[in-house]
């Protein structure tokens, strides 16, 4: 198992290196001129002398490859430069906002799993009857609804009309209810649908038939023989959902005044605050990649076939 984890970890550095190069290059080749944006955000009139000075300060007068290498070297020392706007180290700024985002994302992931699994099992056990129709209808609406609009609908109902929940801000549990619901609904619906399909498929397999022939009680067949195998695709899908949940969190933060990286990143895009944008993209990528690594390890642990096949191939 350790070897499997080590093998997966080794694939990460080249991938992240490639992403960092891509991010760096695209920002340099993009439409904006960092020197002009720097001066604009510093309220300095863009005279020729000032532009030359800003270019020297930002290292824009050096060859592209040299710029990238020196940026990479500093990034490896966790120095992503200063924000053009706040004049603070970018990483410090982002790490200041990150806990709020991670809190929202983790809560949304927990809710996704906690609600979708019972729903999926319920629908599969009552195929083509009322519960199944209900879950499928919910899932159909759930995957089509814009998460930010859902956020406002919740505000309209629970904050404006009923006055049960606070419409804005971060604080106790009551502040979490609406943002978490808005972020998690889509993943939850996809998961429930997937588990239902996966259970129906597993139910047709021979080991399930054999379990039934052995006269095992229905409960044990469903839980021990169907659900366990049917969960494997859910584990894979969860890796994908983490990306969606992160993206959803970034949008939903803007509605509920949640002090996370999403709002900081959006203002950085408007301001063309390039160091922030660079660090934000890499930070989100690292989180996403690490989560997926965890999912892979979980998968290999749950399914010895995967683990053994990969170790044999090595």
Partner 1 sequence: MSALAEEAATPAIRRRRPRRTTLAGLALVGTMILGALAAPLLPWDPEAVDLMARLEGPGAAHWLGTDHLGRDVLARLLHGASVSLGAVAAIVGLILALGIGVGGLSGLLGGRTDRIVMRVCDGFLTVPTFVLAMFMVGALGTGMANVMLAIALSHWAWYARLVRGMVLSLRERDYVAAAIVSGASRPRVFVEHILPGVLVQLVVLASLDIGHMILHVAGLSFLGLGVTPPTPEWGVMINEAREFIWTQPTLMLWPGLMILLTVMGFNLLGDALRDRLDPTLAGDGC
- Considering only residues 134 to 193 of the shown chain, the ones binding partner 1 according to CB under 8 A are 136-137, 139-141, 143-149, 152-153, 155-156, 160, 193
- The single residue among 4, 23, 75, 181 that binds partner 1, judged by CB under 8 A, is 23
- Cβ at position 49, least distance to partner 1 in Å: 26
Show contacts with partner 1 in window 273-312 (CB under 8 A).
274, 277, 280-281, 284-285, 288-289
- The single residue among 231, 272, 275, 279 that binds partner 1, judged by CB under 8 A, is 272
Total of residues contacting partner 1 (CB under 8 A): 75
Nearer to partner 1, 53 or 285 (CB): 285
Interface segment toward partner 1; rule CB under 8 A; list 75-83, 112-120, 251-259, 296-304: 251-259
3-state secondary structure the chain: CHHHHHHHHHHHHHHHHHHHHHHHHHHHHCCCCHHHHHHHHCCCCCCHHHHHHHHHHHCCCCCHHHHHHHHHHHHHCCCCCECCCCCCEHHHHHHHHHHHHHHHHHHHHHHHHHHHHHHHHHHHHCCCCHHHHHHHHHHHHHHHCCHHHHHHHHHHHHHHHCCCCCCCCCCCHHHHHHHHHHHHHHHHHHHHHHHHHHHHHHHCCHHHHHHHHCCCCHHHHHHHHHHHHHHHHHHHHHHHHHHHHHHHHHHHHHHHCCCCHHHHHHHHHHHCCHHHHHHHHHHHHHHHHHHHHHHHHHHHHHCHHHHHHHHHHC
Show contacts with partner 1 in window 224-243 (CB under 8 A).
226, 242-243
Nearer to partner 1, 166 or 248 (CB): 248
- Cβ at position 302, least distance to partner 1 in Å: 21
- Cβ at position 216, least distance to partner 1 in Å: 12
Show contacts with partner 1 in window 77-136 (CB under 8 A).
124-129, 132, 136
Residue 48 binding partner 1, by CB under 8 A: no
Residue 67 binding partner 1, by CB under 8 A: no
Residue 68 binding partner 1, by CB under 8 A: no
Nearer to partner 1, 21 or 110 (CB): 21
């Amino acid at each position: 198992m350790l070897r499997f984890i080590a093998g997966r970890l080794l694939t990460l550095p080249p991938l992240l290196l490639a992403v960092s190069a891509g991010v760096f290059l695209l920002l340099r080749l993009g439409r904006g001129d960092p020197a002009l944006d720097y001066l604009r955000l510093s309220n300095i009139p863009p005279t020729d002398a000032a532009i030359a000075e800003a270019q020297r300060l930002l290292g824009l007068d050096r060859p592209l490859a040299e710029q990238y290498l020196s940026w990479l070297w500093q990034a490896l020392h966790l120095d992503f430069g200063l924000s053009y706007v706040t004049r603070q180290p970018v990483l410090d700024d982002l790490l200041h906002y990150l806990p709020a985002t991670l809190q929202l994302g983790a809560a949304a992931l927990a809710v996704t799993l906690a609600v979708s699994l019972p729903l999926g099992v319920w629908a599969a056990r009552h195929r083509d009857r009322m519960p199944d129709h209900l879950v499928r209808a919910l899932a159909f609406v759930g995957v089509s609804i814009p998460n930010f609009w859902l956020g406002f609908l919740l505000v309209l109902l629970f904050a404006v009309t009923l006055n049960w929940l606070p419409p804005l801000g971060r604080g106790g549990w009551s502040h979490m209810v609406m943002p978490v619901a808005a972020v998690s609904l889509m993943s939850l619906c996809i998961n429930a649908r997937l588990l239902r399909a996966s259970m129906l498929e597993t139910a047709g397999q021979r080991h399930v038939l054999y379990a039934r022939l052995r006269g095992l009680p229905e409960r044990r067949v469903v839980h021990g023989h169907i659900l366990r195998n049917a969960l494997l695709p859910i584990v894979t899908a969860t890796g994908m959902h983490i990306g969606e949940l992160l993206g959803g969190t970034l949008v939903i933060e803007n509605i509920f005044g949640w002090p996370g990286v999403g709002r900081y990143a959006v203002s950085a895009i408007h301001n063309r605050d390039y160091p922030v944008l660079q660090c934000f993209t890499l930070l989100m990528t690292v989180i996403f990649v690490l989560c997926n690594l965890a999912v892979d390890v979980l998968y290999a642990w749950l399914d010895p076939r995967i683990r053994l096949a990969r170790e044999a191939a090595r």
